[in-house]
Amino acid sequence: MPEGKNRRWLLEKRPDGPVGPHNFRWTESEVPAPGEGQMLVRNLWLSFDPTQVLNMVAAPEEGGYPLGEAMGSLAASQVVESRLPHFRPGDLVYGFSHWEDYSVVDGKGYWDTATVPPGIAPHLAVGALGITGMVAYFGVVEVGRPGPGETFVVSAAAGGVGSIAAQVARLLGARVIGIAGGQEKCDWLRDEAHIDGAIDHRREDVAARLDALCPNGIDVFFDNVAGPVLDLALARLRPHGRVVLCGSTSRYRVTPRPPGPQNYSRLIMVNGRMEGLLARDYFDRFPEAISVLKGWLDAGKIRSKEDVVVGLEHAPEALMRLYAGANVGKQLLKVADAPPGTST
C-alpha cells in the first residue's frame, strides 16, 4: 500500500449556474484499500469533457456523480494493487476514475476499464487514441462519410474531438473548414492541422465567412456545439448533405434549454440527414480505429494537440477552461509522472 495522503477533489455542490471552484472541496485522506472485485489505481492523467458538467447536475439515479464523493472523470492510471482477475500491479489502464491521486475502481461502468494497448502513451489513451479520438474517427468515417472534394465543416474544430475529426476528414480527401474561437486556434488549424480554412467565431461574421469559404454549400457538418452555428450550417447544407451530431456543448449548462434548430426544414429540401452517435456504439471496433489513428500519428499525417494543466490542485480550473473556450486541443491534466520506460 502506498504511503502518504490521497489528495482528492470532492463534488460539494451541484451547479445551478456556471461551474466554479465553489462546486468542489479539496480534501486529503488515507490511501484506500481495494476490496474483493476492486483494484487500487494511481491516476496519471485526467481527461476533461464538457459532459462532466451534465453528470455534476444529474442525480446519481440519473447517472450523475454522487455528492460528497471524489469527482468522476475518465483517466489513464497505473494499477497499484488488484483484486480483479484481469489486472496486475504495474498495468497501465484507462477508464472511469476520479479527481484524486489514488482511486479504488471495480473496472465496470459506462466505460469499463481497459488495458492501455502496448506502445501507446497513457495520455494518448485518454486523448487522440481514447474516447475523444474514437468518436471523431467513427463520426467522420461512419456517419459523415465525406468523399474526396466534398466540403466538410466542423465546430469547436480546435478542441479534442474537433481537431481529430478535421484531420481525419482531410485525409479522406475532403475540403475542411474549421470553426473555432480565437486566433491561436485558427492558426493551429491552418498551420499544423493543414485544413483548408478556419473561421474565428470570436471576431469574424461566421455566416459571411461560411459563404466565402463554402460557396457551393456544405456536404458534411460535424457538430460539437449546437446552437446558432448548427442553424448556419443547416441553411447551407448541399443536396444529400449530412450533419453529424457529436456534441452540443452550447446547451449543456443552459436551463431551460433553448428551442432546437430553426433551419431543420432544410433537411427536407436537400434530402439531408442528421445523425447522432455515441463513441461507445463502436466499442467493438476501437482496436481498428486505434490502429488507423496511431498509424497516422506515427507517420506525421495527423497531429494530436493537447492542452495540459499540471497538478491535481488545478482540476476545477481545467474543467472551466472547456467552457471558457480556453483549451487548444484535448484538455488533460497531468496528476503524476508515468512510470519509467512507458511510451510517451
Ligand X SMILES: NC(=O)c1ccc[n+]([C@@H]2O[C@H](COP(=O)([O-])OP(=O)(O)OC[C@H]3O[C@@H](n4cnc5c(N)ncnc54)[C@H](OP(=O)(O)O)[C@@H]3O)[C@@H](O)[C@H]2O)c1
Q: Is residue 120 part of the contact set for ligand X (CB under 6 A)? A: no
Q: Which is nearer to ligand X, 236 or 330 (CB)?
A: 330
Amino acid identity of residue 290, one-letter, is: I
Query: Is residue 186 a contact partner of residue 156, using CB atoms and an 8 Å limit?
Result: no
Minimum distance from residue 132 beta carbon to ligand X (Å): 6
Q: Which is nearer to ligand X, 185 or 236 (CB)?
A: 185
Q: What secondary structure letter does DSSP report for 120? A: -
Which range of residues in 89-97, 230-238, 260-268, 321-329 is near ligand X by CB under 6 A?
321-329
For CA atoms 21, 27, 28, 34, give the dihedral sign.
negative
Question: Whose CB is nearest to ligand X?
Answer: 247
From the list 171, 183, 198, the residue with the least C-alpha distance to 301 is 171
Q: Is residue 49 part of the contact set for ligand X (CB under 6 A)? A: yes
Q: What secondary structure letter does DSSP report for 279? A: G
Q: Is residue 156 part of the contact set for ligand X (CB under 6 A)? A: yes
SS3 131: helix
For CA atoms 220, 224, 225, 226, give the dihedral sign.
positive
Q: Is residue 224 part of the contact set for ligand X (CB under 6 A)? A: yes
Q: Is residue 322 part of the contact set for ligand X (CB under 6 A)? A: yes
Which range of residues in 3-11, 188-196, 286-294, 325-333 is near ligand X by CB under 6 A?
325-333
The three cell numbers locating residue 298:
506515427
Q: Is residue 279 part of the contact set for ligand X (CB under 6 A)? A: yes
What span, in angstroms and rounded, lies between the C-alpha atoms of 146 and 261? Answer: 23
Taking CA atoms, 157 is separated from 13, 209, 256, 273, in Å, by 32, 15, 27, 21
| DSSP-assigned letters across all residues of 61-79 | GGTPPPTTSBPEEEEEEEE
Q: Which is nearer to ligand X, 7 or 170 (CB)?
A: 170
Q: Which is nearer to ligand X, 165 or 338 (CB)?
A: 165
Minimum distance from residue 104 beta carbon to ligand X (Å): 25
Among 158, 174, 210, 318, binds ligand X (CB under 6 A): 158
Q: Is residue 97 part of the contact set for ligand X (CB under 6 A)? A: no
Q: Is residue 183 part of the contact set for ligand X (CB under 6 A)? A: no
User: Would you tell me which residues interact with ligand X (CB under 6 A)?
Assistant: 49-51, 131-132, 135, 156, 158-162, 180-181, 185, 224-225, 227, 246-250, 277-279, 322-323, 325, 327, 331
